[in-house]
Chain A
């Protein structure tokens, strides 16, 4: 099973600042990595797939990078609606599909 580890657990950021979230896989997942955003009481929403491709309708301020075992989600200028929990997911070695434990982005 591929273990996904996200850091930090919580990220405190001021509106307008840049946020950088990390995700590390216990073994190579190539570029088969997705990022999801989840707000309280809502279902997850796909942001990024194939490590760096934005899903339809996702704002350009969200960008993903990395391959192999180390990945990054960057939010270039945080808006109020971006405060949420973000999860990475690998879909290279399955089953099982595995998620990171999440990074909460909170208002500083």
Chain B
């Protein structure tokens, strides 16, 4: 059974940092690209970042470039999102999601990040 479990969320002040983790199981992790997608309170889905199966390819939403870093550890089947210089507009539920041919076939349950003073 494919499982994706996010952790690491919480409340942080503007300008602060947070590292999200996504623990995965039930599939060959390094064979899949992985995404982070977020959802601000009461809003729609917004793609944030992607990383290729071997970690060589990464891409980011323009508004997070230079502040967020996606990474993965294929030895522990884990995905990460390092978020620095956080802004109030980064407040959202963050989901990790598996990529299959470009769309997202499995999603984690999400983790809330609140940026507030």
| Contact partners of B101 in chain A: CB under 8 A | 49, 91
Interface: A3 (CB within 8 A): no
User: Interface size (B, Cβ < 8 Å)?
Assistant: 22
Main secondary structure of the interface of A (DSSP, over half): loop
Could you say which residues of chain A place their CB within 8 Å of the CB of B45? 36, 38, 44, 87, 89, 99, 102
Given the complex of chains A and B, what is the CA–CA distance between A46 and B106 in angstroms? 8
Instruction: Return the chain A residue nearest B58 by Cβ.
Output: A95
How many of A's residues come within 8 Å of B, CB to CB? 24
Is B85 an interface residue, CB under 8 A from the partner?
no
State which of A34, A38, A96, A100 has its C-beta within 8 Å of the C-beta of B104.
Answer: A34
- Considering the chains assembled together, what is the distance between the CA atoms of A92 and B62 in angstroms? 18
A residues with a Cβ closer than 8 A to B are 32, 34, 36, 38, 42-46, 49, 55, 87, 89, 91-92, 94-102
| Closest 9 pairs between A and B when the two form their complex, measured CB to CB | A91-B102, A34-B103, A43-B107, A95-B59, A97-B47, A99-B45, A102-B44, A101-B44, A49-B103
